[in-house]
Chain A
Amino acid sequence: MMLIPCPWCGPSDENEFGYGGQAHVAYPDNPHALDDEAWGRFLFVRENPRGWWQERWFHSAGCRRWFAVARHTVTNEIRAALPEPT
């Protein structure tokens, strides 16, 4: 079980959190300005790297805040927890 550094509550067990997938995928300002392919990419396509990437977590059994972390997908090492909205 991973130990996730909640920026508000400190390190906590993974089962206190909900997973939010890739971080920094902004909801488009005007979805209707996107063609079908671009909208489909926003909806369904995410990165799946081997190595470092940024992902979102929601401390559902704690402070109920969303935040982003950098996690290594092979080692599950977590480096930065970013308290700002993502």
Chain B
Amino acid sequence: MIFHFDGEPIAARPGDTVASALLRVGKRAVATSPYLDRPRGVTGIGEEESGAFVQIVSGVGEPMRPSTRVEVVAGLVVRGLGGRGGLPVAPDPSRYDRAYLHCEVLVVGGGAAGVQAATDAVERGEGRIVLVHDGPLAMAVPDAIQVLQRTTVTGLFDAGHAVALERRTEHLLAQPSPDVARMRVWHIRSARTVLATGAFERPLAFADNDRPGVLLAGAAATYATRHGVAWGRAVVVCTDDTGLAAALALHDAGTAVAVVADVRTGLVGDAVRALAERGIDVRQGWSAVGTDAAADGGVAAVELTPVTPQGVVLGPGERVPCDLVAVNGGWSPNVALFTYVGGPVTWDATRVAFVADRARPHLRSDVTVVGSAAGDGPMPANPPATFFGAVANGPDIASRVFIDPGRDATLADLHRALGAGLRSVEHVKRYTTIGTGADQGRTSGVLAIGLMAATLGVSPGEVGTTTFRPPYVPLPFAALAGRDRGRLSDPERVTAMHDWHVEHGAVFEVVGQWQRPHYFASTQDESMADAVLRECAAVRTGVGMMDASTLGKIDVRGPDAATFLDRLYTNVMSKLQPGRARYGVMCGADGMVLDDGVVLRLAGDHFLVTTTTGGAARVLEWMEEWLQTEWPDLRVWPTSVTDQIATVVVAGPGSRDVVAAVVSDLDVSKEALRYLAHAETAIAGAPGRVTRVSFSGELAFELMVPAWYGDHVWRAAWQAGQAHGVTAYGTEAMHVLRAEKGFVIVGQETDGTQTPDDLGLSWLVRKPVDRAGNPTPDFIGSRSFARADTRRPHRKQLVGLLPVDPQRQIPEGAQLVAVGADLSTTPVPMLGHVTSSYRSAELDRTFALALVAGGADRHGERLLASFGADDAEVVITSPVFLDPEGARRDG
């Protein structure tokens, strides 16, 4: 099996990772460090890797993977990471999935402890048991256990929720396949979670400890025994018995172990005897203080020396030529997942490790830790030493003692942090960046804590650990997105007339997931500005048609419907007669405008409430909340009918003729169908309702039909309009037309801090007593209108703005300040901001709506609109630019 590394073909064997294959062919220097350009090689054998990162070039590509985690597959192409990876730019054709799984027991980790825990659960008959292992599972497990291999739990969350990333195909094929999910993000819910996440071996601090060929001892031994890596000549430097075991394993696998330097003295036990039997030179009370480099940048020799248990170099030392320095500075239980759910850890001085504190009750009794992650296991013959490294005195030595090679962070950085007075391990982490690299401090964290403790003269337990946070391994965004990409990233809602819009050059905008025609381009090269001017002129002088189907519509029915709407709206709806409609606003309890719309009374107990397009769901929830929680005695049933009813708006002086041509048996004359009246009728043969409402100020009709007739009725009205030069218009023209009349859009003129009065809508707010002197029913928000803040003068109020230069269009969001304000001194007193700004065909100039402090009393004053580096003078006017008498609406 051949793969390519840095352009060179490399032979690999089944079961190889990129790391093991490179080591077998003697490639020690694999990558370069991020900031110092130092050569780096393989340091570990799993997720703890801190040196040999590669960029995946073949297939989809990935910017940065530890070579120890990439299984070799034919055709794989990788590059040693030159400091940092580059994101692949080619589109990714792969499929990514999200999957859900519910189980009684989730076991994280497929080592001996994890398999045991899962097997025990099977024997206890605990139900569905899932074992997740982050690599290929090496051990056999009972069939009853569902195994997810090559799956890494990246986070533990509330109520037994685990998120895991499964890499499903990269060990099988180098090229992406569109037919099978490359990765799955699993959302697992388990009643009980067992963490068997193991432990990571720790490195030691000494000068030039980052050279290729300096590996964790257990990793080096496993490469020899499992992958057949021939190391040449090795030196083992250790602080606990697992280092001695690694020395034996290396020797028995054919590696010449020149020296074992163990910082401890008085060693006893089988391992010591076995090393002696093999004639291996064991130096007790010795450790490493530095390395020399070979031509490839890898280690050529290690400098060993007698040291005290505190790390004081006693000397004289000895330089031992070698190809491998196998380092074991103890073990760090992998407690990251445990701490995600608040699990406590404690410093175990006997095991020289932070372990899960099983004596202390913690918040999540459903999460337990087993195996080496909990510090379990028989006590070794010789207790491990509390020792983190030996550093000789000398200039610039500390800056070559690497604590976090993934960040090029050294002992000198740690000394600088402590010298600056930092004492919290969290501060030191941020100051030095130790533990913030791709391996998230798996090897460097406790090493840094130990060195901090040694410098400060306290125990590592007193220094404490930093906080682990998910994700445990990097999660590709593509995997998180799953299939929610491109057109599937958000639901698309289309109206019944959508196809017609597409046929007629509509350019769409998304409003509350609806695809709404923004404008209709009459020719390929008509600009949006030209199209909007054309559409606006058509409505003001001829006739226009707009698809208003997306407006929220709620059917409110029941004996108490009128009472209910009286409580929601600021104006009285119960006085509305069947066959009539009324514009209303509703407020929150804080008195701020929540939504607006036209309410149609269909019968005594039956209303049709319209809402803004974006507010439909919110208003329905608002109704349901009050009915369920405060007024369960009211017999009212609100039902969303937004999708069931299509709405065609026909607007403009010519609209009556067009509507008359499509309705049957309905007199649409000014006298018969008055403004704000509605009537049922057949529209182009479909059952429908015609309402005289106008959002443009022009004579206008809304034709409502069941949605499945929407396309038919639209086309019929369009056909009827041909004789009158009908023009389709979109949301932008609708916005301009309503702004010319000073009609607000909730969400554009409002941001949740405007009362009806601020918007000039106090005429919509009922008085506490009616004209006859009877008290009126209370409504939501009324009490807040009497609050000091809502009554204060100089609240921001709705005004119109006319730029002094009539061709100047002020950007929406522009800030308004006093003319002559010194813009160089901050803060500049803000007087308001522009909420809507357009070019008007009717006015033949630009205009805007704005919220201005005390604006209602400032008509005629000048302000300065400031935007970016630019500004322009504007004159405050009434927000009604057109037809203040309302003469046009009757045609």
Q: How far is the CA of A69 from the CA of B778 in the complex (A)?
A: 30
From B158, B589, B632, B778, A43 is in contact (CB under 8 Å) with B589
Chain B residues near A86: list those with CB within 8 A: 629
Interchain CB contact under 8 A, A75 and B589: no
Among B445-453, B574-582, B620-628, the one that faces the other chain is: B620-628
Is A34 an interface residue when CB atoms closer than 8 A count as contact? yes
Is B159 an interface residue when CB atoms closer than 8 A count as contact? yes
Among B127-135, B226-234, B783-791, B883-891, the one that faces the other chain is: B783-791
Task: For the complex formed, measure the closest distance between the CB of A55 and the CB atoms of chain B, giving whole angstroms.
Answer: 13
Chain A residues near B787: list those with CB within 8 A: 36, 39-40
Task: For the complex formed, measure the closest distance between the CB of A2 and the CB atoms of chain B, giving whole angstroms.
Answer: 5
Is B590 an interface residue when CB atoms closer than 8 A count as contact? yes
CB-defined interface of B343-386 with A at 8 Å, one 1/0 digit per residue?
00000000000000000000110000000000000000000000
Chain A residues near B363: list those with CB within 8 A: 74-75
Task: For the complex formed, measure the closest distance between the CB of B859 and the CB atoms of chain A, giving whole angstroms.
Answer: 31
Interchain CB contact under 8 A, B783 and A39: yes
Task: For the complex formed, measure the closest distance between the CB of B66 and the CB atoms of chain A, giving whole angstroms.
Answer: 29
CB-defined interface of A26-40 with B at 8 Å, one 1/0 digit per residue?
110011101010011
Q: How far is the CA of A60 from the CA of B620 in the complex (A)?
A: 10
Interchain CB contact under 8 A, A75 and B342: yes
CB-defined interface of A59-70 with B at 8 Å, one 1/0 digit per residue?
010001110000
| B153-187 residues at the A interface, CB under 8 angstroms | 157-161, 187
| A1-47 residues at the B interface, CB under 8 angstroms | 1-3, 14, 18, 20, 26-27, 30-32, 34, 36, 39-40, 42-44
Task: For the complex formed, measure the closest distance between the CB of B641 and the CB atoms of chain A, giving whole angstroms.
Answer: 15
Q: How far is the CA of A31 from the CA of B632 in the complex (A)?
A: 19
Chain B residues near A27: list those with CB within 8 A: 589, 630
Chain B residues near A75: list those with CB within 8 A: 342, 363-364
Chain A residues near B624: list those with CB within 8 A: 58, 64, 66
Interchain CB contact under 8 A, B157 and A1: yes
How many inter-chain residue pairs (CB < 8 Å) link A and B? Answer: 62
From B589, B625, B778, A20 is in contact (CB under 8 Å) with B625
Interchain CB contact under 8 A, B783 and A76: no
Interchain CB contact under 8 A, B158 and A3: yes
Q: How far is the CA of A46 from the CA of B682 in the complex (A)?
A: 53
Q: Contacts A1-B157, A40-B787, A58-B621 hold; do A31 and B782 have CB atoms under 8 A apart? A: yes
Q: Which residue of A lies closest to B783 (CB)?
A: A31
Task: For the complex formed, measure the closest distance between the CB of B558 and the CB atoms of chain A, giving whole angstroms.
Answer: 16
Q: Which residue of A lies closest to B590 (CB)?
A: A43
Is B839 an interface residue when CB atoms closer than 8 A count as contact? no
Is B79 an interface residue when CB atoms closer than 8 A count as contact? no
Is A85 an interface residue when CB atoms closer than 8 A count as contact? yes
Chain B residues near A3: list those with CB within 8 A: 158-161, 189
Chain B residues near A44: list those with CB within 8 A: 590
From B158, B630, B782, A1 is in contact (CB under 8 Å) with B158
Q: How far is the CA of A64 from the CA of B623 in the complex (A)?
A: 11
Q: Contacts A1-B158, A2-B159, A31-B778 hold; do A36 and B788 have CB atoms under 8 A apart? A: yes
Interchain CB contact under 8 A, A43 and B625: no
Chain A residues near B625: list those with CB within 8 A: 20, 58, 66
Task: For the complex formed, measure the closest distance between the CB of A56 and the CB atoms of chain B, giving whole angstroms.
Answer: 8
Task: For the complex formed, measure the closest distance between the CB of A51 and the CB atoms of chain B, giving whole angstroms.
Answer: 12
Chain A residues near B160: list those with CB within 8 A: 3
Q: Which residue of B lies closest to A18 (CB)?
A: B621
CB-defined interface of B766-795 with A at 8 Å, one 1/0 digit per residue?
000000000000100011101110000000
Q: How far is the CA of A21 from the CA of B739 in the complex (A)?
A: 37
Q: Which residue of B lies closest to A2 (CB)?
A: B158
Q: How far is the CA of A7 from the CA of B159 in the complex (A)?
A: 17
From B189, B342, B783, B788, A34 is in contact (CB under 8 Å) with B783
Task: For the complex formed, measure the closest distance between the CB of A6 and the CB atoms of chain B, giving whole angstroms.
Answer: 14
Q: How far is the CA of A1 from the CA of B157 in the complex (A)?
A: 6
From A1, A32, A39, A78, B778 is in contact (CB under 8 Å) with A32
The 9 closest A-B pairs by CB, nearest first: A31-B783, A3-B159, A75-B363, A76-B158, A2-B158, A66-B628, A27-B630, A85-B632, A1-B161
Q: A3-B189, A66-B629, A75-B342 are in contact. List 7 more A-B contacts (CB 8 A).
A: A1-B157, A1-B161, A3-B159, A3-B161, A36-B788, A75-B364, A85-B629
